[in-house]
């Protein structure tokens, strides 16, 4: 796997600080830089690197001074919840019904993504 490869970047990205940012954005939906940093309690330099990395792989976006998750960012956080990973003081309990809805939605989104990737690969 090459360092410029998107998959390499995504795997390298999953560290505690990045996951904290993703889950705060999932809970708040839209939040300013200062508020997001205060919520995550991450040092400024580390925080800025994590934000930049998340934007590079299109997991978050910034519009009018507010950060929010993209659809791929939502897909990733839903997947992390489904496998039981949540950073916080308490584990988030997800009701079976909610988990089933998330799983169904994520399977559809993952399938669409695989189709798009295979189309792009065939173009090359």
Kindly give the parts of the chain with pLDDT less than 50.
1, 86-92, 94
Measured between alpha carbons, how far is 29 from 26 in angstroms, rounded to an integer? Answer: 5
Rounded to a whole number, what is the distance in angstroms from the first to the last CA of the chain? 18
pTM higher than 0.85: no
Classify domain 6-123 by CATH architecture.
Orthogonal Bundle (1.10)
Domain spans in the chain, listed from the N-terminal domain onward: 6-123
């Amino acid at each position: 796997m090459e360092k410029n490869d998107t998959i390499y970047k995504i795997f390298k990205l999953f560290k505690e600080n990045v996951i904290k940012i993703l889950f705060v954005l999932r809970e708040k939906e839209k939040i300013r830089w200062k508020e997001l940093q205060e919520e995550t309690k991450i040092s400024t330099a580390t925080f800025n690197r994590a934000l930049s990395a998340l934007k590079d792989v299109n997991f978050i976006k910034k519009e009018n001074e507010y950060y929010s998750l993209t659809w791929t960012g939502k897909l990733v956080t839903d997947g992390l919840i489904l496998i039981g990973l949540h950073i916080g003081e308490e584990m988030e309990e997800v009701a079976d019904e909610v988990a089933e809805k998330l799983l169904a939605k994520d399977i559809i989104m993952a399938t669409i993504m695989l189709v798009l990737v295979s189309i792009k690969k065939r173009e090359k």
